[in-house]
Amino acid sequence: MNDIPLAGTAPKAELKWVGTRGPRPDGLDKVTGRARYGADFRLPGMLVGRVLRSPHAHARIRGIDISKAAALPGVKAIVTRDDFRDMPSEFVPAGEMMVNYRDIVRNVMAREKALYEGHPVAAVAATSASIAREALSLIKVDYEVLPHVIDAAEAMRADAPLLDETMITAGVDPAPTKPSNVAKRMEFSTGDLKAGFAQADFVIERSFATKPVHQGYLEPHACLASVNEAGQAELWCTTQGHFVVRTHCAKLLDMEMSQIRVIATEIGGGFGGKTVVYLEPLALALSSKSKRPVKMVMTREEVFLSTGPTSGAHMKVKIGVRKDGKITAAEAELIYEAGAFQGSPVGPGCMCAFAPYEIENARVIGYDVISNRPKVAAYRAPGAPISEYAVECVIDELAQKLGLDPVEFRLKNGAKAGTRALYGPKFGPIGLVATLEAAKNHPHYSAPLGPNQGRGVASGFWFNIGGESCASLHINEDGSVTLMIGTPDIGGSRASMALMAAETLGIDVAHVRTLIADTDSIGYTFLTGGSRATFATGMATVDAAKAAIRQLCARAAKIWEISEDAVVWEDGHAKPAGQNAATFPPMSLAELAGKAGKTGGPISGHAEINAQGAGPSFGTHIVDVEVDKETGRVDIKRYTVIQDAGKAVHPGYVEGQFQGGAAQGVGWALNEEYVYGADGKLQNAGFLDYRMPVTSDLPMIDTVIVEIPNPAHPFGVRGVGETPIVPPMAAIANAISRAIGTRLCELPMSPPKVLKAMQAHKANGG
Amino acid sequence: MSKRHVSAVVNGDPVEFLCTPEQTLLDVLRDDLDLTGSKECCSSGDCGACSVILDGRLVCSCLVLSAEAEGKRIETIEGMAKGEELHPLQRRFLEHAALQCGICTPGILIAAKALLEREPDPSETEVRFWLAGNLCRCTGYDKIVRAVLDTAAEMRRS
Ligand code: FES
Ligand code: FES
């Protein structure tokens, strides 16, 4: 295929739409209450579905008696483990993680054992919510309560209760002979660690601990399923990837994919947490049994109890430096909690830990450990914020030890184009140094600090991914454009796609409408996650627009009776390639669209791609805190996020990603944690006790968008959604340590812990 | 379970509904009156996504029993725009990109409207404390607070 010369698609050319801050296509419906989210759909004859959940952290399920519940008038269907076939152990990719259907089916519905408080054991569909609730109370589950283990360090002990008696640690040679709760050991290394540490003038080694934190999306999981007598299903659900939902449901329910149409509703936040299935297979199974539509919506308590937070962790980090500030060696050990089933993000945690730095000798060892908690799910840059928090704290301490400015210290060791990352690849053009330079020169960095205040800095890295995306772009008869894509819009991506389509076509963005197509209306598209939507679906969108332009040019050639390659596309018009080609007045997209019927039929462009070359995104955050000496309360006084976006397609929404990530990081750093009782039950399954930052907890969050174009993307785009949550925890920890003169190595840094650290410091003569 | 008959005024229109004793105002708005713009994200008064104005007072509709709506005037997000014309807050939220996923937006708009009705010239701190009952997990609140302050300035000018 000839590449058609297009005005306005090279990163350097003047851009008319990409980089502007226009309104988003779905905005109006979202400020008027019209937009329909997961819980906003209904169908005639709809039943209400509810889930019975295990009250125990760990229990063998000896039997389930549904007879009384089934006899209750108004109950139309009940499903238990008996309604789901067992699945072989098989790893397949889902988002940035691998999933195992043996585990997914067990997480959706407990089988041999209930493995955490809130683990589903049965589901009911009834004509009303109150009947469904009553039915749940009539189901008798015979539990044999077993000893439980919550914390990963305890779960690793030889005498710990075993969750899965068949689990043999992978990645250890020779394989252990006894089962344990350690699912996997992994190691990444380069150079000669011993020699590296021998060259060091200073070595700092610290242990860190973090707690599981929840993505905290405001919209609870919700879906509506309708299965007819022929087994054809429709499923409306709030998800980051309706194609992935289809894949999982088809697999779990043994249905053909063509029989399931999944419609992605508007989504009220996900941050990685809506990349898995919970209610969807249950609703389909209940609907298929009752032959009635079934709607299921989780309560907030269910969201906390049963859906994935990210891992809590125990970590050791050791870094050696020379007096001149060069890092000579680095080592880390990371233990991540996976929850009830294996698959914590410890892999990406290992790969990201030292990624911002050029280190010759390094080793990271990771352990994936199961315990009696809900299975973790992806949360924004899964795994990276945890390990990079620990590393960035040690980096800061080393800078203090050397008497170097923390930004200068990072600049001395920072990764640049050509640096080989510990996990393998050599970086292309990357923006770490640019974000550090911007931090150094930002007025925030040199502003004076008040009493009891401290300033912290940290950098962060995330890979970003590409992957499979489709786009269909229809040129309507009146010259307007309908763009169909398959990545749910979680934060304004429809606007970005419209901007990229308008830029490529050379028309006003007001004439482009972007829709999220259902699974029957467009080809397989991987989920919105890994910061891939604007990158990968953006590439598909540009390709689809180019395909449409090729047709538009061909139609003009036909009208002008000249050859196709004598026509170029410029500024929304077909033009003869030059004086030699012919002299016709340019024809606009709208004119060509109006004549489409007579020149060969409808005009559309399609693209089905597997996008490669996602550019990593680096960021650097600066934060000022003030610590209350009486209470240990930490106040965020000022916050600046600096990050490489490659190219910001819609700067308003890029800034929004930066600010939102920073705010989530503030919660992770200061307040948020899962609190368990000795009984293995979650004690804070609600927004009152699981305290996410509110408006009055935060200042304005300043942003600087750095643009180091990603060469693989037509406009230079890098994903931006995940990196912003990587630096905050360390930046805040570093700021606190500079404010109080001693360092906390545990998250969250809640007031009692800060107070204790200050008191201990004082007792030690600090 | 016997149902109770309730008459109220919602967004200026008279409505009548039958409700059970445990049904909340939010349940009735969403399930019986098809006003799904008010969102249910916690059912415990902690997120503000279900905010409505009840006889001039900002409330979490998940904490109000529907029977309490008898004879009351209720304003929801669906009544915020006047015909074709958006409320200045709605317009500013769009201009400022003050929403990402948008699930918190209806509740925040209603809460902000209640604020501006009682305090046309709020400080940033006042906005932050007034909106402290409305969670937003996506935006970090920066653009929301700016949008509210800008709207206040615009409304004072006109
Ligand atoms: S749903 Fe009413 S406050 Fe959260
Ligand atoms: S925009 Fe998503 S919760 Fe506020």
Distance CA A474, CA A476 (A): 6
Closest-CA residue, ligand 1 atom 3, reads B45
Burial class (CB in 10 A: 0-12, 13-18, 19+), A194: exposed
Whether residues A707 and A735 share a domain: the answer is yes
Distance CA A710, CA A317 (A): 32
Three-state SS letters, A728-754: HHHHHHHHHHHHHCCCCCECCCCHHHH
Q: Kindly report the CA angle at B73 between B72 and B77, in degrees rounded to 5?
A: 135
pLDDT the model gives residue A766: 77
Contact criterion met (CB < 8 Å) for A31 and B143: no
Residue A429: inside a domain, yes or no?
Answer: yes
3-state SS class at A58: coil
Whether residues A716 and A632 share a domain: the answer is yes
Distance CA A462, CA A449 (A): 31
| Number of Cβ within a 10 Å radius of residue A472 | 24
Whether residues A631 and A756 share a domain: the answer is yes
- The label of the residue with tokens 């019975």 reads A52
Integer CA distances (angstroms), A506 to A93, A94, A190, A603, in order? 37, 36, 49, 16
What letter does residue A638 receive in the DSSP assignment?
E
Whether residues A602 and A621 share a domain: the answer is no
Residue A358: inside a domain, yes or no?
Answer: no
Which of A589, A611, A633 is where one domain is finished? A611
Distance CA B25, CA A481 (A): 42
Q: Which amino acid type is present at position A472?
A: S
- The label of the residue with tokens 């210290």 reads A409
Task: Measure A261 CA to ligand 1 centroid, in angstroms.
Answer: 31
Contact criterion met (CB < 8 Å) for B137 and A652: no
Q: Which CATH number does B88-157 carry?
A: 1.10.150.120
Contact criterion met (CB < 8 Å) for A686 and B141: no
- The label of the residue with tokens 């020149």 reads A599
The DSSP string of A277-327 is: -SSHHHHHHHHHHHSS-EEEE--HHHHHHHS--PPPEEEEEEEEE-TTS-E
Whether residues A573 and A592 share a domain: the answer is yes
Task: Measure A503 CA to ligand 2 centroid, in angstroms.
Answer: 28
Residue A585: inside a domain, yes or no?
Answer: yes
Task: Measure A266 CA to ligand 1 centroid, in angstroms.
Answer: 19
Whether residues A480 and A418 share a domain: the answer is no
Nearest Cα to Cα of residue A660 among B138, B51, B121, B25: B138
Closest-CA residue, ligand 2 atom 4, reads B136
Contact criterion met (CB < 8 Å) for A33 and B36: yes
Q: Which residues line ligand 1 (CB under 6 A)?
A: B 40-43, 45-50, 60, 62
Q: Domain range spanning residue A742?
A: 383-464+615-763
- Long-range own/partner contacts, residues A751-759 (CB < 8 A, 24 or more apart): A751/A628, A751/A631, A751/A632, A751/A633, A751/A634, A752/A632, A753/A632, A754/A627, A754/A632, A754/A633, A754/A634, A755/A631, A755/A632, A756/A632, A757/A632, A758/A627, A758/A629, A758/A632
Structural tokens at position A182: 């350690």
How many domains in chain A?
A: 2
Residue A472: inside a domain, yes or no?
Answer: yes
Strand A634-644 vs strand A701-706: parallel, antiparallel, or unpaired? parallel
pLDDT the model gives residue A90: 79
pLDDT the model gives residue A13: 63
Which of A611, A642, A674 is where one domain is finished? A611
pLDDT the model gives residue A529: 87
Beta partners for residue A469, in sequence order: A609
Residue A215: inside a domain, yes or no?
Answer: no
CATH assignment of the domain containing A390:
3.30.365.10
Give chain B's end-to-end CA distance (angstroms, integer).
Answer: 52
Structural tokens at position A416: 């640049």
Residue B102 alpha carbon, nearest atom of ligand 2: 1
User: Taking each helix axis from N to C terminus, what angle separates B142-157 and B88-95, rounded to the nearest 10 degrees?
Assistant: 140
Residue A478: inside a domain, yes or no?
Answer: yes
Whether residues A429 and A490 share a domain: the answer is no
Global confidence as pTM: 0.96
Q: Give the HSE-up count for residue A755: Cα atoms under 13 Å, Cβ half-sphere.
A: 8
Residues of chain A found within 8 Å of residue B102, distances taken between Cβ atoms? 26, 30-31, 35, 266, 268
pLDDT the model gives residue B1: 63
Parts of chain A with a pLDDT under 50: 1-12
Residue A649: inside a domain, yes or no?
Answer: yes
| CA–centroid distance for B22 within its chain | 22
Contact criterion met (CB < 8 Å) for A695 and B38: no
Distance CA A138, CA A725 (A): 44
Nearest Cα to Cα of residue B107 among B40, B15, B31, B154: B40
Torsion angles phi and psi, residue A57, rounded to 5: -75, -30
**Mean pLDDT over residues B123-147, rounded?**
98
Nearest Cα to Cα of residue A644 among A604, A626, A617: A617
Whether residues A643 and A607 share a domain: the answer is no
Q: Quick one: what percent of chain B has pLDDT higher than 70?
A: 99
* B interface test, pick of A302, A692, A694, A703 with most B CB neighbours within 10 Å: A694
Residue A589: inside a domain, yes or no?
Answer: yes
Give chain A's end-to-end CA distance (angstroms, integer).
Answer: 71
Q: Which amino acid type is present at position A42?
A: R
What pLDDT digit, counting tens, does each position of A121-179 carry? Answer: 999 999 999 999 999 999 999 999 999 999 999 999 999 999 999 999 999 999 999 99
Nearest Cα to Cα of residue A34 among A25, A43, A44: A25
Residue A268 alpha carbon, nearest atom of ligand 2: 2
Distance CA A745, CA A751 (A): 14
Q: Is the peptide bond before A443 cis (omega within 30 degrees of 0)?
A: no
Q: Kindly report the CA angle at A719 between A222 and A310, in degrees rounded to 5?
A: 50
Q: Which fold has domain B4-79?
A: Ubiquitin-like (UB roll) (3.10.20)
Task: Measure A297 CA to ligand 1 centroid, in angstroms.
Answer: 15
- For chain B, what are the domain ranges? 4-79, 88-157
ipTM: 0.98
3-state SS class at B10: strand
Nearest Cα to Cα of residue A395 among A745, A624, A730: A730
Question: Which of the ligands is closest to the CA of residue B135?
Answer: 2
Whether residues A435 and A485 share a domain: the answer is no
Residues of chain B found within 8 Å of residue A661, distances taken between Cβ atoms? 140
pLDDT the model gives residue A11: 45
Three-state SS letters, A73-131: CCEEEEECHHHCCCCCCCEEEECCEEEEHHHHHHHHCCCCEECCCCCEEEEEEECCHHH
Q: Which residue of A has its CA nearest to B89?
A: A31
Whether residues A661 and A759 share a domain: the answer is yes
| Number of Cβ within a 10 Å radius of residue A75 | 22
Q: Kindly report the CA angle at A707 between A706 and A709, in degrees rounded to 5?
A: 155
Which of A566, A592, A611 is where one domain is finished? A611
Whether residues A536 and A573 share a domain: the answer is yes
Q: Give the HSE-up count for residue A532: Cα atoms under 13 Å, Cβ half-sphere.
A: 28
pLDDT the model gives residue B110: 98
Distance CA A578, CA A283 (A): 61
Contact A185, B105 (CB under 8 A): no
Instruction: Tell me chain A's radius of gyration from C-alpha atoms.
Output: 27
pLDDT the model gives residue A128: 96
